[in-house]
Homo-oligomer: A and B are copies of this chain.
């Protein structure tokens, strides 16, 4: 099934724009009165028929809608973007497939990448949401300095994953089900000692994610999967 995406929904009418419209009418050759399925990224699935096809958009008469099944837990990963952007991008794609509610981007002492193109990342989240037949787009937060982030975040369960501390419990033993959980994932070279100390002081719990040494993007994905796994 092909799922389209638009936020332009008013009453019983919806409009697909630009790429979504092109994909619908030119790539998939949908015609007037054909039925399509789409989502709004805000947890609702829609079914409707095409009533008008323009050059750059496509109007849909909504026939049915239903809300995505609610979850009793929330996954938030705050990750330092990788030097090679592809690695962050696949983390974003895979996390969306597996299930993530919020992604924050951290600027850390050891970060090699200090800027990010949110629009590119947003496109990847949208494509992954549609591909995995979800109706909710993960919330994506722009890059923020580590200390500023840990001072403002309000998630219920807060963890920082880092290497070298053997006394840190595995996330699976530290993370209760049915909670809003946030895990901090450091850059290549990990968090600095100062950053770890600041997070622990602010109430974050130190955890390990695996017996193996994982790359930044793999650690992010593993943390995301562990929380989903514990709640499935």
Contacts and interface: CB of A to CB of B under 8 A. Distances in A.
Interface stretch (A5-13, A22-30, A40-48, A210-218): A210-218
A222 B170 contact: no
A226 B210 CA distance: 11
A210 B228 contact: yes
Interface stretch (A92-100, A103-111, A112-120): A92-100
A169 to B, nearest CB: 12
Contact of A212 (B97, B172, B214, B226): B97
A52 to B, nearest CB: 31
A179 interface: no
A214 to B, nearest CB: 5
A170 B134 CA distance: 20
Interface in A123-145: 131-134
Interface of A: 90, 94, 97-99, 131-134, 170, 172, 210-215, 218, 221-222, 225-226, 228-229, 232
16 contacts: A97-B213, A97-B218, A98-B210, A98-B212, A98-B218, A99-B210, A132-B214, A133-B213, A170-B232, A172-B229, A210-B228, A211-B232, A212-B228, A221-B221, A225-B225, A226-B229
5 cross-chain pairs, A with B, having the tightest CB-CB distances, nearest first: A132-B213, A97-B218, A133-B213, A132-B212, A94-B218
